Amino acid sequence: MSTFGIRLAAATAERGPFCVGIDPHASLLEAWGLSDDVAGLESFALGVVEAVAPHCSVVKPQSAFYERFGSRGVAVLERVISESRAAGALVLLDIKRGDIGSTSQAYADAYLDPASPLASDAVTVSPYLGFGSLLPFVETATRFDAGLFVLAATSNKEGPEFQQAVTTDEFGGRGVAATVLEHLRALNGEAVPLGSFGAVVGATLEDDRGLDFAFNGPVLAPGFGEQGGTVQDVRRIFGTAASRVLPSSSRGVLRLGPDPVAMRDAVLRTNDELRALTGPGS
């Protein structure tokens, strides 16, 4: 099996970089005319998979919206993962886990070990117990050719309180977000064509916060679409690194359901727009 970075580069070259979040908000279930229960969850989530997974490079289920229904909701998430991958999409499971030692290892085993029914191509993780706390995730991702996307400069208004704080000289005297990117640079090294360790950076940032995105890995950019991020913002924030960015949106596509054609067409149209602005020679 090839590394996540290799698989991601191939998938985005074939299908485009748009990442679709499969997030069954209660309000979306209602808008689709579905009940806010496991039956509604299953109809919604698998309907989205059928409409978009054959056409986008990456889907991103948010685990919390399935976990709220307990074990039966997690069973639906397992189907979302397996059926999305069967349709040719890579699965980036949005879990934002961050813990230490054996607990961190258990999370890594749950979401990255192919023996687990929740095993995904990549997951989101939080570095705020120290980047070294992610070592079990890093080692497990490396062992199973999976990927990680580490929170760096997120689009929520509370983020700068931590992410723009400056580290001590012992840790380079940089901003926390910049330190995260430097760790990712070291992990990715000279991987070709792309490293497997990425960052999460919001598509709605007012500027690039002085961050250096040349860390040879992918960038997940939430906040795209309904939350205000545009194709032009991707180019403005990420510059020459824009071709490695996965702009992510959920509601912008999901609100078009339950019409599968409308959701599919939104994916195809957005990928065309992103290719035109961020592709080679743009």
CB 199 within 8 A of CB 184: yes
Q: Are strands 122-125 and 147-153 parallel, antiparallel or unpaired?
A: parallel
C-alpha span between 235 and 68 (Å, rounded)? 36
Q: Tokens at residue 119, please?
A: 């095993």
CB 114 within 8 A of CB 144: yes
On the 0-12 / 13-18 / 19+ scale of CB atoms within 10 A, 142 is: middle
Catalytic residues: 96
The distance of Cα 156 from the centroid of its chain, to the nearest Å, equals 15
Determine the Cα angle at 138 with ends 132 and 143, to 5°.
150
Q: Which residues contact 221 (CB under 8 A, 6 or more apart)?
A: 200, 201, 202, 203, 229, 234, 237, 238, 245, 246, 247, 248
C-alpha span between 252 and 130 (Å, rounded)? 34
CB 95 within 8 A of CB 111: yes
SS3 99: coil
